[in-house]
Every structure is written in C-alpha cells, then in structure tokens.
Amino acid sequence: RMLMYESKAQREPFDVIDLDPYGSPAPFLDAAVQAVSEGGLLCVTCTDMAVMAGNSAETCYSKSGAVSLKGKFCHEMALRIILHSLDLRANCYQRFVVPLLSVSADFYVRVFVRVFTGQAKVKASASKQALVFHCVGCGSHHLQRLGRATSHGSSFKYSPATGPPVGPTCEFCQQRHQVGGPVWAEPLHDPAFVEGVLAALERSPGRFQTEPRMRGMLSVIAEELSDVPLYYTLDGLSSTIRSNTPSLLQLRSALLHAGFRVSLSHACRNAVKTDAPPAVLWDIMRCWAKLHPVKLERLPDSSPAARILSVEPTLQASFALHEDANPSSRKRGLKRFPENPEAFWGPKARAKPG
C-alpha cells in the first residue's frame, strides 16, 4: 500500500509516511506534516465518508477544519477537504503540500502529497483555498477564493480576494445557496507523476492483482481537467429539469460543439467536469428539453425545473456526435469504474454489545 516516489535528480527514494487516522485526524496530521522529511511523501487515507460527504457538516469541521456539503460532487469535495486540512496544518510550520495523486475509490479517499518548506510559498496558500457556494435547488456551484496572488515581475503581492461570486439566491432557480469549505481549489494530481505510475505498470505486467483496475482508474485521472474543481452529473442535471437523461456522449458533444472543454471524473461514473459556466449547462439542458419535451403543467411554478425551463436558451446546442466526445479510456474498454464485488459490500455498522 506504500507508494515510493523517486527523485529524478538523486534517484533515491524519499521518506514515506503512510497515515490512516481513526477518530479525529487533527493530531495525526499535525505530527505527520512535521515528521516527514523535506520533499518526502505523505500518504493519507480517510474512511469516514459519511462525515466527509456532507451528512455531518459540523463534525467534518471539527475534524478537518472545513464544512462538507451534500452535493453530487461530494466525493471530490472530500478529497479537496483533506488537501485543505493538510496544507493548513503544514502552513503552521512554514511548510506546504504539493499533491501527486488524489483517489476516491470504494468507501474511502486517499491522497499522496509531497511536503516542502518555504516561507515565501506558504504566503500563496490562501489563494489556493476556496469556499463553495452550492444551490440547494438546481445544484449549481461556484467557488470563491480566500486569497489573491498578483504577480509583479519576479515577485508576488498577496491580498484578500473579492466577492462573493453569487447573490443570496440562485440566478437560475431562485433557491438559496449553501456555503461549504474551505477546500483545496488547485489541481488534485501531478500529470507527470500519474504518467510515471502508468509507465511503471506497463513495465511490470502482472505484478499486481489489481492491475486492470489501477490502469483504468489512472487513465481516467490522466484525462481529468486539472484546472476545473468539482463536477456535475448526468442524472443530476436531467432530474433537476424533470427530463429523461442524455447519454454521456451527447452531453459531451454538446459542450465540445459549444467550444468548452469536458472530461470525466474518476470519483463518479456519471460525472461531467467542464469549464463551461452553469449558464451554458442550463442552456444545453433547455435545448435538450425542447427535443424531449417536459410536461410543464405538472410542475409547480416555484420548482427549479419550471423556473429554469421558463427561460429561452441563448445557446443553440448541437447533440451530434463530436469526434472527441468518446474519451480514450472508454474507447480502449479499460476497467475504469469497477463494480462492487458483492451485494451490501463495504464497511458495516459497528458491532452492538450483547
């Protein structure tokens, strides 16, 4: 379970700390970010997904210093909460973290980060964190950075960020916003490291029993948009407007035809990561609803579906198959999202006395 990372310059393995905290992770993380050597690898596993995924936001704050939200993107948000907590603990000792790989799998999340020391770079940590504004009606989300880093030649000026990015209610469905976070808003993975791990798998075929799963998940991770935090889901978008669900290729094609980037997410089978703003996504769904009519007479006027569909789309979406709509990992038939091995598989409830 331990992953070694070799320096290209020294060709020597760094110190590795593999941490799986139980209960409150605060004292474990505090000690780990101090104990790991300069540039060393810190591996952290968290299995308390009920807390990290938004079921107990107050408990998540007491353990990790961030408020979790119960949204479709909860698994990726759990990864970003852990990275925020790690970076926050490291900053207390003039250190900072650099993520190499962040994985959400089965019933746990696991992150691999390197820890460095540097007072100048610690100052940029505030600009790497963000609050999440999440609409309880349609699920639209927006990020608000905590800090701002402005370059002036070879130096940087750090200042508080301006905001908020949204008003008290959602512009699409007029429902209220929930505020979560702070979360890590920078990339979750190091593309060079991910490609290196994939290359190592190719050099040693048959070494691991879970090699097909590792190759599939790492391939999806390599395809993810690194600069787009969080994601939407196919079923989440369609259920909001009460329509049938477009296929993955149809929605990806519509976004690509509109000039935006799009990718999958390893954290969710139906995820859609895109740099398109929510206004574009709802325009695409309005165009989809015109092709597959929704019975508006059955919807209350105050429902998110009625309010979204009452607006005419400004973008004419095309659902014709785009040449880049089908991702490479899907074309190759890799084992990207493995099924559970058996029914009711996963962590069970704690044993009861007697």
Chain segment 293-304, per-residue pLDDT in tens: 888 888 888 899
Q: Confidence band (pLDDT; 50, 70, 90) for 128?
A: very high
Whether 96 and 118 have beta carbons less than 8 Å apart is answered as yes
Q: Would you tell me how many other CB atoms lie within 10 Å of the CB of residue 61?
A: 16
Let me know whether 204 and 300 are in one domain.
Answer: yes
Q: Does residue 354 lie within any of the structural domains? A: no
The pLDDT value recorded for residue 210 is 86
Let me know whether 171 and 276 are in one domain.
Answer: no
Q: Does residue 327 lie within any of the structural domains? A: yes
Q: Does residue 344 lie within any of the structural domains? A: no
Domain total for the chain?
Answer: 2
Mean pLDDT of the chain: 88
Of 5 and 351, the structure prediction assigns the larger pLDDT to 351
Q: What would the DSSP string read from start to end of 224-249?
A: S-TT--S-EEHHHHHHHTT-PPPPHH
Interatomic CA distance for residues 8 and 105, integer angstroms: 29
- Phi, then psi, of 304 in degrees rounded to 5: -55, -35
Let me know whether 148 and 286 are in one domain.
Answer: no
Among 20, 136, 143, which residue's Cα sits nearest to residue 76? 143
Q: Does residue 339 lie within any of the structural domains? A: no
* pLDDT greater than 70 at residue 8: no
Let me know whether 127 and 83 are in one domain.
Answer: yes
Q: Confidence band (pLDDT; 50, 70, 90) for 9?
A: very low
Mean pLDDT of 125-137: 95
Mean pLDDT of 2-31: 55
Let me know whether 141 and 58 are in one domain.
Answer: yes
Interatomic CA distance for residues 255 and 318, integer angstroms: 9
Q: Name all contacts of 2-9 with Cβ < 8 Å and 24+ positions apart.
A: 2/43, 3/41, 3/43, 3/101, 3/112, 3/197, 4/41, 5/41, 5/100, 5/112, 5/114, 5/193, 7/39
Whether 162 and 131 have beta carbons less than 8 Å apart is answered as no
Whether 258 and 284 have beta carbons less than 8 Å apart is answered as yes
The pLDDT value recorded for residue 173 is 93
Read off the CATH number of the domain in which 57 is found.
Answer: 3.40.50.150
Q: Does residue 343 lie within any of the structural domains? A: no
Mean pLDDT of 63-67: 91
Q: Confidence band (pLDDT; 50, 70, 90) for 7?
A: very low
Whether 115 and 36 have beta carbons less than 8 Å apart is answered as yes
* pLDDT greater than 70 at residue 340: yes
* pLDDT greater than 70 at residue 151: yes
Continuous segment of H or E residues that includes residue 151: strand 147-152
Asked which of 94-98, 209-213, 227-231 is least confident by mean pLDDT, the reply is 209-213
The pLDDT value recorded for residue 23 is 53
Let me know whether 52 and 181 are in one domain.
Answer: yes
User: Residue 39, exposed/middle/buried by CB under 10 A (0-12, 13-18, 19+)?
Assistant: middle
pLDDT in tens, 252-284: 999 999 999 999 999 999 999 999 999 999 999
Cα dist from 93 to 30, 86, 90, 96, whole Å: 9, 12, 6, 9
Let me know whether 184 and 315 are in one domain.
Answer: no
Let me know whether 161 and 235 are in one domain.
Answer: no
Q: Give, in degrees to the nearest 5, the angle at Cα 325 between 266 and 135.
A: 55
Whether 274 and 281 have beta carbons less than 8 Å apart is answered as yes
Q: Confidence band (pLDDT; 50, 70, 90) for 26?
A: low
Let me know whether 205 and 173 are in one domain.
Answer: no
pTM over the 0.85 mark: yes
* pLDDT greater than 90 at residue 349: no
The pLDDT value recorded for residue 106 is 83
Residue 157 corresponds to which tokens in the numbers above? 């000026």
Mean pLDDT of 231-249: 93
The pLDDT value recorded for residue 101 is 95
CA 198 to chain centre: 21
Sequence-distant (6+) residues with CB within 8 A of 248 are 234, 270, 272
Q: Confidence band (pLDDT; 50, 70, 90) for 2?
A: very low
Domain that holds residue 89: 1-189
The pLDDT value recorded for residue 43 is 92
Residue 169 corresponds to which tokens in the numbers above? 């209610």
Sequence-distant (6+) residues with CB within 8 A of 338 are 213, 216
| pLDDT more than 90, % of the chain | 65
